[in-house]
Amino acid sequence: MSIYNPLPILKGLWTTIKSVVEKPVTLQYPEQKRVMPQRFKGRHHLRRYDNGLEKCIGCALCAAACPADAIFVEASENTDEVRYSPGERYASTYEINMMRCIYCGYCEDACPTEAIQLGHDYEMAYTEKRNSIYTREILLDPPPEGQESTPRKVEPGVFNRSIPVMKDAE
Amino acid sequence: MNETTGMILEWVIKGAVVAVICLIGFAYTTYYERRFLARIQVRIGPNRAGPWGLLQPVADGIKLIFKEELVPDKAYKFAFMLAPVLTMAPAIIVMGVVPWGTQANFFGRTIELGISNNLNVGILYILSVTSIAVYGIVLAGWASNNKYAMLGGLRSTAQMISYELALGLSFLPPIMLAGSLSLGDIVKGQQDFLWYFIPLLPTSIVFFIAVLAEVNRSPFDMPEAEQELVAGYHTEYSGMKFALFFMGEYVKMFSMSAVFSTLFLGGFAGPFVEQVPWLGPVYLLIKIIICLGLMIWIRGTLPRFRYDRLMKFGWKILLPIALINVVLTALMISIFGL
């Protein structure tokens, strides 16, 4: 029986004292930050096309796919005078309740236009419950450089398709 | 000011100083433990509150003071209040007989470093006082009116009583070598001879193990056993009453380390202590820190004993070894004529 044999105990003590001289693995968090892996699932982003139009077409498939029922989408009609996204409709309300979200990424998978994506931001602490609702304004990326923001006035008949034409990779 | 008032004042001040040293020792033992355990687990440990996290114990203390104190409805109130005090007080008063040095000159007055260094029943005093802590624990478990607390209290009582035998027997060899029950004489004996852990190595190991069990430290932290008994006897305690139990454990670690250092590591003895008596407390403190470090190191290494093995270890291994040690010491004394 092991309690009659002190050797394993001494071995254990040697193991622990060895680790005392090792360099600690701790990261001093607020000052030092870990580089997130490429596929880390953090806060959501609503992406834009290169021309600055929003990718989200307000189809609410993300809301349907969400297992935690964290997403609420309300769509409105696009017109060529007031255009947010290509196609008929855009998300006039897009809210994610960060208290419900489980960061599973199903919304990302469900999105037909790759509009919603989980980014690398994880510092989302809030002190008031209402701040847990991330609205469209917070989630939406700024337009690419040199591009006008939405809504904008466009030429009629250019942005008719909601979903971009798929092209084979060259 | 006549001699009697001066004497009383001196004792009161010395008592206060020793109590404060114990409490500061408690606070910084927790810090020491957290830092050392962290290093064992390749972490850093608390380093935010104050420089190097040195104010962490203060922050913990303030937090515990402001915590709500709950007393369970069905608890036996008087015993519930009494239990933490009974655990805490003996831990501090053990320090009363530990000598911190010999005579020293303090602003033109010759004082004795330590409260009663040469109490002629010093070791009996330590044994009897530390036994009181068992009552605190069993009362806490019983008065909480909670099955986990009760189990924790009972386990603790059984454990402490079992290991007290080995502890008591391990007190004997140093007494035999020094020929006195007074801790002051035991230190003097070591100054004249050798530090007793060299001739009495097996005894000092048994003593150390029994001390670990006595202060409920890992691997004998059976009474608390978070994973099995929620928190053992202090399950129902919160706020400052919980802090008192916590303090009781750590102060007891501190004072038992002091006793261990005094009995086996030469106490305040060290180089130049005869010429500069103020080095005595420094040496004792260094030895206490080493003992505490050893306790923390063991905690960071060994898993908890199973209860039946704990009992088996106490009665079937530790106690016979302690008895053999006494006989061997007697033989050693008669053969070498020490």
pLDDT tens-digit readout, B147-195:
888 888 888 888 888 888 888 888 888 888 888 888 888 888 888 888 8
* Beta pairing, strands B103-106 & A133-134: unpaired
Q: Hey, is the C-beta of B285 within 8 angstroms of any chain A C-beta?
A: no
Q: Is residue A136 part of a domain?
A: yes
A86 located within any domain: yes
List chain B residues with CB under 8 Å of A24.
38-39, 42-44
- The count of residues in chain A is 170
Tokens linked to B130: 């530390």
B38/A24 CB distance under 8 A: yes
Q: How far is CA B36 from CA A25, B41, B111, B283, B294, in A?
A: 15, 9, 36, 21, 10
Contact A3 B309 (CB under 8 A): yes
Distance CA B276, CA B336 (A): 33
How many domains is chain A built from?
1
Beta bridge partners of A54: A48
Whether the CB-CB separation of B265 and B101 falls below 8 Å is answered with no
3-state secondary structure of B110: strand
What range does the domain containing A116 cover? Answer: 37-158
Q: Coil, helix or strand for A88?
A: coil
Structure tokens at B55: 């104010």
Which residue among A9, A19, A28 places its CB closest to the CB of B42?
A19
Residues of B in contact with A23 (CB under 8 A): 42
Contacts of B330 (CB under 8 A, 6+ apart): B176
Highest mean pLDDT among A124-133, A148-157, B86-95, B135-144: A124-133
Residue A26 to residue B300, Cβ atoms within 8 A: no
What predicted TM-score, i.e. pTM, was given to this entire model?
Answer: 0.79
Is residue A29 included in any domain, yes or no? Answer: no
Contact B115, B125 (CB under 8 A): no
Q: Where residue A68 sits, what CATH number does that domain have?
A: 3.30.70.3270
Cβ of B298 within 8 Å of Cβ of A22? The answer is no
3-state helix, strand, coil in chain A (%, to 5): 20, 15, 60
- Could you tell me how far CA B59 lies from the centroid of its own chain? 24
Distances (CA, A) of B149 to B88, B162, B321: 18, 20, 32
The model's pLDDT over B11-68, given as tens digits with 9 standing for 90+, comes to: 888 888 888 888 888 888 889 999 999 999 998 888 888 888 889 888 888 888 888 8
Give the residues across from B299 on adjacent strands: none
Residue A4 located in a structural domain:
no
**CB–CB of A13 and B39 under 8 A?**
no
* Amino acid in the structure at residue B72: P
Decide if A164 is inside a domain.
Answer: no
CB of B77 within 8 Å of a chain A CB? The answer is: no
Please report the pLDDT score of residue B145 as a whole number.
84
Quick check: A2 pLDDT over 60?
no
Structure tokens given for B337: 């004529």
